[in-house]
Amino acid sequence: MNKVILQPSGNKDAREHYENTIQSPVSMQVLTEYLSEETINQLEAFYPDRSVPTWGVTPGKNNVNVQKWGKIQTGDVTVFSANGQIFASGVVVLKLQHKELAAQLWGYDKSGQTWEYIYFLDEIKQHAIPYIEFNRAVRYADNYIIQGFNVLREELSERILSSFDLKSEIYLPDVSEEEYEQEILQFEDHDNLDTNRSGKGRKEQSFLRRKLFKNKKVGVCGICGNQYPVDLLVAAHIKKRSKCSREEKLDYKNIVMPMCKFGCDDLFEKGYIVVCDGKIQRNIKKSYTPHLLERVAQIETRECKHWNDHTRKYFEWHQQQ
């Protein structure tokens, strides 16, 4: 699950950093001088405009920040706070330690440290969330003041992310195949995608979305073939999830495909369209209104790129419902 990173930024250094490397993101040109080609390639995939909101923390006294920074993962949400409110948030894309880059971007603090524990952000949003609202969401005392860099544990983070709608649909936390498997076993009794999408099965959806979209911002609907931002696409099960055996659920490469929220997901799930021999067709068992027929006509006879020898049996199951 995604975590929340508290990043109080009221002091002079932090205010300057926010202006210099978040509000005015760092250009890829500068980063290229310091980072490996592999890292640059990764970053370029996330930042087509080649400007990268960048933040960093110092090791701190007795390296107090190092362990906290170590917990940061892709998809975690940083909240910047100052003057009694959370004023901005951003989603973690990538992190790395780099002293020279940090020194170049921000120099050194009074104790001779630099902000070398770096993380790159995206989806920077402005907010005006007063501390009191934040405190109540986290169930802290009303007069609590965010002090110091910190990475909150998952349970607290979840309260904040859902209270203030800060979750990213693009950058998802790493979920290993083992964790996915565990999740499948643990939630085997959950019988529909809805429980799966909200709350408890998040790891499963995270994993499936990551496998499908690989943290890309844009994906292609497997039904209509249109390109959409990934937050308008779902990882839809071809064979209804609740009817899948454990083995089928674990066959994640074949059991899900991206479908858009502009109707394809629903049309497929409710059986108004089927995929037959690789082609999208209307379902003769269903009754249609003229408007629905118009909609279906737009996608009918399209080839479904996800239909192959491995997925065929799932499409056939779907067709027979």
Closer residue to Zn ion, CB minimum distance, 3 or 295: 295
CB of 161 or CB of 264, closer to Zn ion: 264
HSE toward the beta carbon, residue 239, CA cutoff 13 A: 23
**Residues 122, 264: Cα–Cα separation, whole Å:** 29
Q: Could you say which of 102, 172, 212, 224 contacts Zn ion (CB under 5 A)?
A: 224
Site for Zn ion in 286-315 (CB under 5 A): none
Smallest distance from Zn ion to CB 276, Å? 18
Minimum distance of Zn ion from residue 257's CB (angstroms): 11
- Cβ pair 272, 288 in contact under 8 A: yes
Total residues contacting Zn ion by CB under 5 A comes to 5
Residue 264 CB, nearest distance to Zn ion (Å)?
3
The continuous run of DSSP H or E covering 59 comes out as none
Site string for Zn ion, 194-223 (x = CB under 5 A): ---------------------------x-x
Residue 117 φ then ψ, to 5°: -90, 90
| C-beta of 221 vs 274, nearer to Zn ion | 221
If one asks whether residue 280 binds Zn ion (CB under 5 A), the answer comes out as: no
Residue 79 · residue 89 · CB < 8 Å: yes
- Return the ∠ at Cα 6 (arms to 80 and 198), rounded to 5°: 100
- Report if residue 264 touches Zn ion, rule: CB under 5 A: yes
Q: How far is the CB of 256 from Zn ion (least distance, A)?
A: 15
Pair 237, 254: CB distance under 8 Å: no
Q: Please identify, using beta-carbon distances, which residue of 31 and 224 lies nearer to Zn ion.
A: 224
Window 82 to 111, contacts with Zn ion (CB under 5 A):
none
Query: Closest approach of Cβ 224 to Zn ion, in Å?
Result: 3
Q: Is 274 in the site for Zn ion (CB under 5 A)?
A: no
Output 71 or 305, the one with its CB closest to Zn ion.
Answer: 305
Q: Least distance from C-beta 258 to Zn ion, angstroms?
A: 9
Half-sphere exposure of 188 (CA within 13 A, CB side): 10
Residues 4 and 75: their CA atoms lie apart, in Å, by 9
**CA–CA distances in Å: residue 177 to residues 117, 180, 208, 214:** 28, 5, 10, 14
Q: Which is nearer to Zn ion, 92 or 221 (CB)?
A: 221
Strand pairing of 150-151 and 117-130? Answer: unpaired
Closest separation in Å from C-beta 18 to Zn ion: 39
- Looking at the Cβ atoms of 72 and 259, the one nearer to Zn ion is 259
Shorter beta-carbon distance to Zn ion: residue 175 or 236: 236
Kindly tell me which residue out of 43, 151, 160, 260 binds Zn ion, with binding defined by CB under 5 A.
260
Q: How far is the CB of 262 from Zn ion (least distance, A)?
A: 6
- Rounded to a whole number, what is the distance in angstroms from the first to the last CA of the chain? 34
Computed from CA positions of residues 86, 71, 91, 180, in that sequence, does the dihedral angle turn out positive or negative? Answer: negative
Q: How far apart are CA 237 and CA 286, in angstroms?
A: 20
Q: Which residues are at the interface with Zn ion (CB under 5 A)? A: 221, 223-224, 260, 264
